[in-house]
Amino acid sequence: MVKVTVCGAAGGIGQPLSLLLKQSDLITHLSLYDIVNTPGVAADLSHINTKSKVTGHVGAAQLEEAIKDSAVVVIPAGVPRKPGMTRDDLFKINAGIVRDLAVAAAKFAPKAFMCIISNPVNSTVPIVTEVFKQFNVYDPKRIFGVTTLDIVRASTFVSELIGAEASSLRVPVVGGHSGVTILPLLSQVAGTDKLTQEQLEKVTNRIQFGGDEVVKAKDGAGSATLSMAFAGARFALNVLEASVKGTSNIVECTYVHLDADQAGAKETKSVVGDIDYFSVPVELGPNGVQKILPIGQLSAYEKKLFDAAIPELKGNITKGSAFITEGAKL
Ligand code: NAD
Ligand code: LMR
């Protein structure tokens, strides 16, 4: 049995993400959890003639049954931004939501691969880590911040400039998932040497603030949902492809605790200094993080971007961790 639970399944991301997951043969049970509307979403999806059984669970009393024995828990639960807000402004509401879902996962699905979408990702992932530590079930190889949308955006925006095929253009994006902490490594992409410094800076800024572009266009009706569902499904299905099917050489950039592969993370730490979490290229395997791969050579411009990112990222990490370590006992 391969059970995948989506927490926040009735939301703007949750619904299309669940639809995309319903198309996968790797999943036998798709469990949809939210505080509203999941019976309807589940009834609707359950009519699709693909392999997985779909169940809907609504409200905290049904959380145990929703999450129990899941192989993967994907969390897009919580509030999205409105124009003028930063992702950190969501912390007040989303930190508690993610904490409560992490507690349920630690109790009822401690071996699940945790894929965290809820913002601010830079802080919500440390929250999940600290919850799992308190329940003595922590394994840094199994907890992921989903930054795939940054990768998806980067390949779209850069391919428009250099004339490459977007779907096959791999653009590494490392760091965190908010503004200046998003670090596209364009110097590593063949064809970007044709771009002027001005073009490089413009497209870098567009990747870093791509989320704001959508928030502004939606004008109060939320943030990216459809592109996020695409990116979230790609990430969760790659985790399953590597773990359930044992397919090798699957690499995704994802925000992890660097203890997930201390030897592999040495190169990253030699560049960024002592930081606990960073989005890095990760080879996925049967147990989650198989290997942290090098972030590679940086241009002088990218080094400057790193200098701006690290203090903000460290602050976000401390804030997330402290929410649990200095909070009430769970
Ligand atoms: P949304 O408001 O459309 O949906 C959120 C869903 O979460 C709602 O259905 C709501 O009922 C549910 N929810 C609220 N509290 C819950 C709880 N305690 N348990 C379970 N479900 C709960 O929002 P959205 O547009 O789907 O965005 C969700 C989150 O994803 C936001 O925090 C947003 O910032 C984030 N996001 C992250 C990325 C990324 O790249 N990581 C991209 C886009 C959005
Ligand atoms: C994104 O990058 O689109 C998400 O993090 C949502 C947001 O708030 O921008």
- For the chain, the domains span 3-146
76-112 pLDDT, tens digit per residue, is 999 999 999 999 999 999 999 999 999 999 999 999 9
Cα(38) to ligand 1 centroid in Å equals 14
Give yes or no for residue 12 CB within 6 A of ligand 2: no
User: What SS3 class is residue 6?
Assistant: strand
Spatial separation of the C-alpha atoms in residues 39 and 58, rounded to whole Å: 7
Atom of ligand 1 nearest to the CA of 121: 41
pLDDT of amino acid 171:
97
pLDDT of amino acid 306:
97
Q: Which residues in the chain show pLDDT less than 50? A: none
Nearest ligand to the C-alpha of residue 85? 2
Cα(328) to ligand 2 centroid in Å equals 29
3-146: which CATH number, 2.60.40.1180, 3.40.50.300, 3.30.420.40, 3.40.50.720? 3.40.50.720
State pTM to two decimals: 0.99
> Who's near 8: CB < 8 A, 6+ residues apart?
14, 33, 34, 75, 76, 77, 78, 117, 118
Cα(118) to ligand 1 centroid in Å equals 6
pLDDT of amino acid 24:
98
219-233 pLDDT, tens digit per residue, is 999 999 999 999 999
Q: List the catalytic residues.
A: 177
Spatial separation of the C-alpha atoms in residues 70 and 258, rounded to whole Å: 24
Cα(118) to ligand 2 centroid in Å equals 9
Give yes or no for residue 215 CB within 6 A of ligand 2: yes
CB-CB contact of 176 with 119 (8 Å): no
Q: Which of 271, 278, 253, 259 is nearest to 307 (CA)?
A: 271
> Who's near 316: CB < 8 A, 6+ residues apart?
88, 120, 122, 123, 176, 178, 181
| Strand 182-184, strand 173-175: pairing | antiparallel
In this structure, the residues whose C-beta lies within 6 A of any atom of ligand 1 are 7-8, 10-14, 33-36, 76-81, 90, 94, 97, 100-101, 117-119, 121, 146, 149, 177, 222-225, 228
308-317 pLDDT, tens digit per residue, is 999 999 999 9
Spatial separation of the C-alpha atoms in residues 268 and 280, rounded to whole Å: 8
